[in-house]
Structure 1
Amino acid sequence: MRPPRAIHPIGFEFGHSLGKPNDKNTQMKVLEAALNELTVKQEPGNIHEVHFPSY
């Protein structure tokens, strides 16, 4: 079953879906981007790429 909403942070290492350990600033940005996806109507299975310039 495909996820109803998903983001893919560009440049993140596999297993570090929220960013590097102890990088609170980037982790908060990823969480905010994920929560913003909840407000946008989407088709199931679409994965939105997210760029974080400071990562």
Structure 2
Amino acid sequence: IQTLQKKISEGKHYNVAITHAAKKLVRLIYAMEKIRQTLHKNGITFSAL
């Protein structure tokens, strides 16, 4: 969400901003899967498959 808001505030078109945020999320998920890491954020636990 922060990435999306940042890109929109930079004047990027919504589709460009959402694509950037999605790519960043995919890179994060891949990195978590690669090292088998668990992420704890805002009381929610995300773990790699």
Q: TM-score, normalised by structure 2?
A: 0.43
- Greater relative contact order structure (CA < 8 Å, 6+ sep): 1
TM-score by length of 1: 0.39
Q: Which structure's CA Rg is the greater one?
A: 2
Structure number with higher helix proportion: 2
